[in-house]
Amino acid sequence: MLKSSDYQKGHRKRLREKCILSKGQSLLDYEILELILYSAYQRIDVKPMARELIKRFGSFAGVFNADIDDLKSVEMVGDSAISAILCVKEALARILKEDVKELPIVNNSQKLVNYLKVSIGQASKEKSRIIYMNKKCNVIADDLQDIGTIDQTPLYVREVIKRALAISASSIVLSHNHPSGDKHPSSGDIAITKQLNYACQSMNITLIDHIIITARGYFSFKEKGLL
């Protein structure tokens, strides 16, 4: 009779071979997650964990955008699994961030949107990113603001301007996510954009855009003629 440990070794070997032969393209979502979790768990069957994570968070992407506390609430998931998941998400975000840095933001809008979708687009709470640029519109700083609630995040205009002046930024892109999935700006979003734009103009700083990000789309104040 085949022992459980022998079966696991065989299953892992077959899954790794499948990944290599197809360059990863033939793997199902839970199989990719399995391979990621192998680095965290050497001796246990992680397939049930992978399936449960995708079920709990609604999608493959949802797993990598889940909050740490929510990940911990899933049975069997410990610090080893969480660190593996966070490392993969951070690796992807850094790759996309490098793409953003290659060209001026004004010529790189789609890559910027792709980066924002990964970094904040599927977060369960609102987050704001402030991207500061020099005169050539190259990124010189990328700050994640305080995490807010499920429907709002604080933005302190004075602190944004203070930071821009401190690093000699000439322009700014503001972005935040809408966990609800509705990409359209709220009255509060419109009001804070006007406040920030006015403050920027008074300091000879350009607010290039305010981008609202969701898991499936985005809203650009610049593209809609609101900036």
Report the top-level CATH class of 104-220.
Answer: alpha beta
Q: Report how far residue 41's alpha carbon sits from residue 71's, in angstroms, rounded to the nearest whole number.
A: 16
Q: Which among 135, 133, 153 is positioned nearest to 145, based on CA atoms?
A: 153
Q: Residue 172 in contact with residue 203, Cβ under 8 Å?
A: no
What are the residue ranges spanned by the domains of the chain?
4-91, 104-220
Query: Which pLDDT score is estimated for 152?
Result: 55
Taking 50 as the pLDDT cut, the residues of the chain under it are 1-4, 7
Q: 102-125, pLDDT tens digit by residue? A: 667 777 788 888 888 888 887 778
Neighbours of 186 (CB within 10 A): 14
Query: Which pLDDT score is estimated for 10?
Result: 78
Burial of 22 (0-12, 13-18, 19+ CB in 10 A): exposed
Query: Which pLDDT score is estimated for 1?
Result: 34
Query: Which pLDDT score is estimated for 147?
Result: 58
φ, ψ for residue 144 (rounded to 5)? -95, 120
Query: Which pLDDT score is estimated for 153?
Result: 55
List residues bridging with 213 in a β-sheet: 177, 218
pTM above 0.85, yes or no: no
Query: Which pLDDT score is estimated for 125?
Result: 80
Q: Report how far residue 11's alpha carbon sits from residue 30's, in angstroms, rounded to the nearest whole number.
A: 14
